[in-house]
Amino acid sequence: MVELFILMIERLGLIVMLAFIATRLRFFRNMVSSYQLTTKQKYIAILFFSIFGIIGTYSGVTFHSEALELNRFVTSLSEEEAIANFRVIGIVLAGLFGGYKVGIGAGVIAGVHRMLLGGFTGIACGVATIVAGILAAAYAKRNPSASTQPKHIFFLGAIAETVQMGLILLVARPTDQAIALVQTIGVPMILANGFGCVLFLLIIKTVEKGEQHIRAVQTQKSLRIAQKTLTFLKEGLHSRSAQEVCSILFKELNVAGVAITDQRRILAHIGLASDHHKADLPIQTQITWEVIKRKEMVIANDKSIHCNKQDCPLGAAVIAPLLIRNEVMGTLKFYFHSEKEITELEKEMLAGLTSLLSSQLELAAAEKSYQLAKEAEINALQAQISPHFLFNTLNTVISLIRMDPNKARKLLHALSQFLRQNVSATTTTVLHSVEDELKHIQSYLSIEETRFEGRFHISYQIDSKCLETSIPPLTLQPIVENAIKHAFKNQDMHCQLEISIKEKEQDVVLSVTDNGIGFDSEEMNWLGQKVSPSKTGTGIGLYNINKRLQMKFGDDSGLQIHSKVGKGTSISFKIPKNIQEESLT
C-alpha cells in the first residue's frame, strides 16, 4: 500500500503538467471564468477532459491480483489485472466546470475506453467513471462556489474514488480478487485522486491570480501614465508635449527608448538611439510610413528599423499609430534591445497604452473644436446686438442736419465713437475693463440724450475699485439699450435709469434699474432664456447676453431679472472680482 501511494504521488507530476497546459489554452480559461458554457465550449470541454481521463488511465500502475505485484506502466490488462490511476480527476473536473452534459460526456468516453482496456474491474471502473461525472456535476449545481474551495474539491475527488471502490466490490468477479484489490489500492487511490483534484485546481487558480496581478499592475501603470500625460496632451501633438510624454513613458515603462512622431517628422526621442533621431531632423524610418499607411501596430526588427539617411542600430521596436477620428496623426515608438524582450503582455499593454493616448489626443482635438465653435457663436451673438440701435440714430441725424447742424455734428461724432467701440468689441476675443464698458454706455446715452432732450435722468452708482475688473464686451451696454427702447417706450418724461457697479464678497455685481413699464408674469417666464415673440419684442438682446455670461462664467452668472408691471425693471448679473483679462474661449 505504501509503495503504491509513493508511485501515485510520483505520477502527480503528470497532473501538474496537464494543469499548466490547460492554463495556456484560451478555451479552458474562458470555460473556467464563464457562468454558462456555449455549445461549442461544451464539445471542446468534453474532448479535453475525456483525453485527460484517458491519459490518467494510461499513466496508472497495474496490479496483478494473484501475484499482488505492481507494474509501473500499462499497455493492456489481462483478466487477473486491474489498474490504479488518475482517471477520476479529469472526469470530476469535467462535471465541476462543465455541468451534467460535459461530466457525463467525458465520463462516457473515458469510461468506455476503460472497459475496452480489459481486466476483471473493467466494467465496474467504466461505470464508476460515468458516475463520477454525474456526481461532480450534481455537487457543482448545489454548490456553485465549489470550484473555488480546495477542501470541497478534495472530498469530491475522494468520494468519487470511494464510489469506484464500492462498485468494484459489488460488480467485479471473482470477489476475493476484488477484495484484495480494494484492500491494496483503495486508500492510496482515494487520497491520491483527492490530492490530484486539489493540485490541478490550485495550479489553475495560481496562474490565474498571477495573470490578474500582472494585468492589475499594468492597468494601474497605464492609468498613472494617462494621468501624468493628460496635462500635456491637452495641448495637442507638438514637440514640447511629445518631449514631456516621452519622458514620462521612458521613466514608467521597461523599454530602451521612446519616440513620438507626427506624419512628417520625429517630434521627440528619449533613450536608445536618440542621438540618431534629432527632433529637428525631418526624417522617418521606412517602417513608420507603413504604420501610418496601414493604421496598425507593427513589431519591427533591427533590419527594418533604418532611417532614410543612415542606419540606426536600434534592436527591435513596437510602432503604433496615434489616431484621431480614425486618422493617423503620428506614431508612438517603443524601442527594445532585442525582439525577445517584446512579450505578448508587453504588446498588449503597449497597444492599450497607445489607444489611451490616442483617446486623450482625440479629446483634446474635440475640446479645441468646441472652444472654436463657442468663440464663433459668441462673435455671432455680439454681432447681432448693434443693428438694433444704428438705423434709428441715422434717421435722427438726417432730421437734424437742416434743423440743427451743430447738434447733428455732435450726434455724428458720438455715433462714430460708439460704432468704433462696438466694432472693436465684436471683433475681439478678449475681455475688457468695466471702465471701457462704461465709456461705451456713455457714448450710447449721449446719443439718446441728444435725440430725446430732457426725457432721461441717468444716475451712476459706481465703485471705483471695480473699474479695472474684466468683463466680456457688450454685456452691460445692451441692457441699458433695452431699457431705453422698451422700458420707456410709452413714457415721454421722468424716465429714470440707474447704473450700479459694486463689490459683493468675491464678485462684482452689475445692475441696470429703470422705472419703465415692466414685464408681466408671462414674459418673465421666458425672458433671457429663449427668443420668443411678445408684445414688446423677441427678447434676443437679453437672451444673447445671458447666454454669453453663462458660457463664460457659468450658470450662476446669468441674468437676474426682477420686474413689476408699471413699476419698472431691475436686471443684474455678477462676475468674479479677480478674473484676469483672457480669451473668451
Top-level class of domain 234-365 = alpha beta
What is residue 511's predicted lDDT score, i.e. its pLDDT?
94
Separation CA 483–CA 500 (nearest Å): 14
| Segment holding 354, helix H or strand E | helix 344-383
Q: What is the SS3 string spanning 177-224?
A: HHHHHHHHHHHHHHHHHHHHHHHHHHHHHHHHHHHHHHHHHHHHHHHH
Parts of the chain with a pLDDT under 50: 68, 277-283, 306-311, 385, 580-585
| Per-residue confidence (pLDDT) for residue 428, from 0 to 100 | 60
pLDDT (0 to 100) of residue 284: 53
> In this structure, which amino acid lies at residue 149?
Q
Strands lying side by side in the sheet with 456-462: 456-462, 495-504, 507-514, 568-576, 560-564
For cell 441692457, name the residue.
479
What sign does the CA torsion over 278, 280, 281, 285 have?
positive
Helix (H, G, I), strand (E, B) or coil at 254: coil
Say how far apart CA 573 and CA 476 lie, in whole Å. 9
Q: How far is CA 326 from CA 238, 292, 359, 372, in A?
A: 19, 11, 11, 21
- The whole-angstrom separation of Cα 37 and Cα 40 is 8
CA geometry: angle 311, 312, 317, nearest 5 deg: 130
2-210 belongs to CATH 1.10.1760.20: yes
> What's the pLDDT at 283?
43
Q: What pLDDT does residue 8 have?
A: 66
No. of helices (H) and no. of strands (E), the chain: 17, 15
Question: pTM (2 decimals)?
Answer: 0.48
| 470 vs 453: CA distance, rounded Å | 33
Q: Is 485 left (phi over 0), alpha (psi -120 to 50) or beta?
A: alpha
Amino acid identity at 451: R
Q: How many angstroms separate the CA atoms of 91 and 396, rounded?
A: 102
- Superfamily of domain 384-576 in CATH is Histidine kinase-like ATPase, C-terminal domain (3.30.565.10)
In the chain, ranges of CATH 3.30.565.10 domains? 384-576
Which pLDDT value is given to residue 2? 65
The pLDDT, as a whole number, for residue 238 is 84
Alpha carbon of residue 459 to chain centroid: 56
* Residue 342 near residue 316 (C-beta atoms within 8 A): yes
